Amino acid sequence: MSNKRKILVTSALPYANGSIHLGHLVEYIQTDIWVRFQRLIGNECYYMCADDTHGTPIMISARKQNISPEDLIKKMYDEHLRDFKAFRISFDNYYSTNSEENRELAEYIYLQAKQKGAIYEKEIAQYYCEQDEMFLPDRMIKGTCPVCKAEDQYGDNCEACSATYDPTELINPFCAICGKKPVIKKSIHYYFKLSDFTNELKTWVGGDHLRSEIKNKLQEWFTQGIKDWDISRDAPYFGFKIPGTDNKYFYVWLDAPVGYMATTKNWCKANSRNFDEIWRGKEFEIHHFIGKDILYFHTLFWPAMLMVSGFSMPTKINIHGFLTVNGEKMSKSRGTFINATDYLKCVDPEFLRYYYAAKLGAGVDDLDLNLSDFVFRINSDVLGKVVNIASRLGKIVNKKLNNTLSEIDEQGKSILGEMRQALPRVAQFYETLDYNKAMREIMPLADIVNKYINDTAPWEIVKTNEEKARIVCTVGLNGLYLLIGMLKPVLPRIAEGVEKFLNIPAITWDSLEKDITQHKINEYERLAERIELKTVEGILGVKEA
């Protein structure tokens, strides 16, 4: 392919105050499939992520565990990275927001904003917990949403209706640490003049960076009027101190997205690359993947921070919905809150990648993990339609045909030609995040290969005509090669197994145009095992007491 693109990709940074769960993995698997597809077609694509490590919850968790915040975030970093590796999430750099690069960049953006008149001080009334002797930041105060009246919502935004508000607007507020009703005290805070960027943000939102339903949601917020943004928090706080102050810290949402840039900067140093070429130049596209719950921060706050400091704006912000399990919101009390670690004790991570791909579209609809459907799809599609080709034909070629493939006959060329016609459609579906459509395009091709194998019955032919059987197996294994090439972004471990079995270099999209003929293959090794519902239901049973 010509005109190779240069792409920087990020996923939202997981908070270092808890384990990775299957809801998180919707985003990392969605992003990773897109990144692997871009690399597969030959684009220069780098994937950056980091642990989001600052804020009061981290400080309080560390205090409860009687360890330092630094020790807590190190422990969570190791656990997060272990889980991501198990699910084959292919980060080029996985870093931490508690880094010197992040401090420098956050301070730079703040000082640029200050220099340009976009920062001002204001005395505010905020909640203070007399029992815990601290001002309560957004995540440490809960109550009823002032807009939709949903209960048990945080002090900055509502997870039910996505409204943003001041903590003092909450109905029936209570301290999330001790449960007591807080009092109001006054304190000086620093504000970012987000309202000054309304017109620039409207222009940016009007471009092709967001899907239409997201633009419509943002129009509601523009109509309500963009509010200025409180970017400071009072001590005690685990984070970066605001330059020129004694006891004020950057709000975690200021330095968290800066983590995308800091992770890139850290990677650039290690790989002798130019940071400004990526974050200030025109050559690189920047693609963010996020959940719909953090839409406001990424489509208004973050672009304004980039505007004021002269960094590159996002090319695309891709937004997904939430995960439900068996039709219900993930819940600890119902036993449907599933950590990555618990899943990994029971089921192959490759299967979750496929299931999510089969259900993920480009929109913000929620995705349901139905365990019965999961077992059916994995056994039917991954095992029955794809892996089955390798195991059936591998045995014949290994045992009866000296591990050697032949040329391809006219019937075979016709079948493989029909499969190749789907390549541009599948590529387009991957590009636009319509993975469910890509899977619906690929699986009927697997049906064609399996029908050909069933109709020709090479296990019978080989008894009387080895060369004819060899042709059938060659056609079938080339069909497998095409299927696995198309599925490689989704099933990277199985794809590696097929590459080893077929004794071929790493598959690329371009390589799928050529047949594998007159070629020695290796012994077939099992690529995956069928699953039972009872086994999969184990992910609900492996729970902490």
DSSP structure string for 39-68: HHTT-EEEEEEEEB--SHHHHHHHHHHTS-
Closest CA to 192 of 50, 276, 288, 297: 297
State which fold the 386-513 domain adopts.
Isoleucyl-tRNA Synthetase; Domain 1 (1.10.730)
Domain with CATH 1.10.730.10 in the chain: 386-513
Element (H, E) at 285: strand 284-291
Closest CA to 483 of 495, 470, 465: 495
State which fold the 1-116+253-320 domain adopts.
Rossmann fold (3.40.50)
Per-residue confidence of the chain (545 residues) as pLDDT tens digits? Answer: 458 999 999 999 999 999 999 999 999 999 999 999 999 999 999 999 999 999 988 998 999 999 999 999 999 999 999 999 999 999 999 999 999 999 999 999 999 999 999 999 999 988 999 998 888 878 789 999 999 999 999 888 888 888 888 888 999 999 988 999 999 999 999 999 999 999 999 999 999 999 999 999 899 889 999 999 999 999 989 999 999 999 999 999 999 999 999 999 999 999 999 999 999 999 999 999 999 999 989 999 999 999 999 999 999 999 999 999 999 888 777 778 899 999 999 999 999 999 999 999 999 999 999 999 999 999 999 999 999 999 999 999 999 999 999 999 999 999 999 999 999 999 999 999 999 999 999 999 999 999 999 999 999 999 999 999 999 999 999 999 999 999 999 999 999 999 999 999 999 999 999 999 999 999 999 999 999 999 999 998 654 43
Element (H, E) at 452: helix 435-456
Tokens encoding 304: 């304004």
Domain with CATH 3.40.50.620 in the chain: 1-116+253-320
